């Protein structure tokens, strides 16, 4: 039996802290939008990068972004800010992992603590050399905060699946009625 024939429960789990990662970046003039603040897409790239690193670390190999949802921009980020993107695996399924990311900014011209400027939840699928999903080790939450994040991620997972199913049913029903759009 190879590891891929096993269920996640038959694989040794990994604690949340094993893959937790922070990526830091100083924002420059080339990161700005027309308003002069940092472009949301630049932040999203950092979020995807750190989440990919976390998913790769947790699963012990390559992982691809399956979805990114609830990307929230809470405060503008400015040129010169030192941005930290902090990520951890919140939840694991058979081959997918929900990664939670917090974005913090230290203002270069203020001696105040870093402020949270954004957050996001991403689903990554661990893949094999053929790009097919592979089994991941279950994440083992260590703290009460990890356990809360695990439970919240399960709620999001249930909603994602329900939404996907409902939309598919609607499209199938419209197609069955011969409606084209
Ligand atoms: C060794 C350590 C190294 C560490 C250091 C590494 C450093 C490295 C840093 C690099 C950091 C850059 C990271 C960038 C990452 C990209 O930019 S990747 C590029 C963008 N993404 C892609 O191209 C992915 C394209 N999509 C696909 O390939 C396929 O759709 C997928 C995602 C593999 C899924 O395949 P599928 O055939 O649909 O498989 P399926 O069994 O249905 O789904 C697999 C799992 O994914 C879930 N899933 C699928 N679609 C979705 C969805 N839309 N929403 C939610 N969940 C979904 C399913 O529910 C399922 O979950 P489980 O029940 O198994 O837990």
Candidate from 85, 127, 133, 160 with most ligand 1 atoms within 8 A of CB, to mutate: 133
What number is the ipTM of this complex? 0.94
The answer to whether position 94 is within a domain reads: yes
Cα 68 to chain center, whole Å?
Answer: 6
The answer to whether position 128 is within a domain reads: yes
Helix (H, G, I), strand (E, B) or coil at 121: strand
Where residue 84 sits, what CATH number does that domain have?
3.10.129.10
The answer to whether position 41 is within a domain reads: yes
- Tell me which residue range forms the domain holding 15: 3-141
The answer to whether position 137 is within a domain reads: yes
Q: Is the CB of 48 under 6 A from ligand 1?
A: yes
The answer to whether position 63 is within a domain reads: yes
What residue's CA is closest to ligand 1, atom 40? Answer: 133
Give the E-state strand segments of 5-140 in sequence order: 14-15, 21-26, 63-73, 82-92, 96-106, 115-126, 139-140
**Tens of pLDDT, residues 111-156:** 899 999 999 999 999 999 999 999 999 999 999 999 999 999 999 9
Q: What is the DSSP letter of 39?
A: P
The answer to whether position 160 is within a domain reads: no
If one counts the domains in the chain, the total is 1
Cα 88 to chain center, whole Å?
Answer: 8
Helix (H, G, I), strand (E, B) or coil at 95: coil
Residue 6: the pLDDT is 67
Residues sharing a CB contact under 8 Å with residue 102, sequence separation 6 or more, in sequence order: 85, 86, 87, 116, 118, 119
Q: Looking at the chain, how many residues does it have?
A: 181
**Tens of pLDDT, residues 11-65:** 899 999 999 999 999 999 999 999 999 999 999 999 999 999 999 999 999 999 9
The answer to whether position 56 is within a domain reads: yes
Tokens of 36: 């002069």
Looking at residues 65-83, what average pLDDT do you find?
Answer: 96
Atom of ligand 1 nearest to the CA of 61: 1
Determine the distance separating the centroid of ligand 1 and the alpha carbon of 93, expressed in angstroms: 12
Determine the distance separating the centroid of ligand 1 and the alpha carbon of 124, expressed in angstroms: 4
Determine the distance separating the centroid of ligand 1 and the alpha carbon of 30, expressed in angstroms: 30
Residue 5: the pLDDT is 67
Q: Is the CB of 40 under 6 A from ligand 1?
A: no
Can you list the alpha helix ranges (DSSP code H) found in 14-143?
40-59
Cα 137 to chain center, whole Å?
Answer: 17
Residue 8: the pLDDT is 67
Determine the distance separating the centroid of ligand 1 and the alpha carbon of 167, expressed in angstroms: 20
Looking at residues 66-88, what average pLDDT do you find?
Answer: 96
């Amino acid at each position: 039996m190879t590891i891929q024939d096993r269920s996640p429960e038959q694989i040794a789990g990994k604690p949340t802290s094993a893959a937790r990662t922070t990526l830091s970046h100083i924002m420059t003039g080339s990161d700005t939008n027309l308003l002069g603040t940092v472009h949301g897409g630049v932040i999203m790239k950092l979020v995807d990068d750190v989440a990919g690193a976390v998913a790769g670390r947790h699963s012990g190999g390559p992982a691809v972004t399956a979805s990114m949802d609830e990307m929230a921009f809470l405060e503008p980020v400015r040129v010169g800010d030192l941005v930290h993107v902090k990520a951890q695996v919140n939840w694991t399924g058979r081959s997918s992992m929900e990664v939670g990311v917090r974005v913090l900014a230290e203002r270069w011209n203020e001696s105040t603590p870093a402020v949270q400027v954004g957050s996001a939840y991403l689903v990554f699928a661990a893949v094999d050399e053929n790009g097919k999903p592979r089994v991941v080790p279950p994440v083992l939450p260590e703290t009460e905060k990890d356990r809360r994040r695990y439970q919240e991620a399960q709620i999001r997972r249930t909603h994602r699946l329900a939404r996907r199913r409902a939309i598919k049913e609607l499209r199938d029903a419209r197609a069955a009625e011969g409606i084209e759009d």
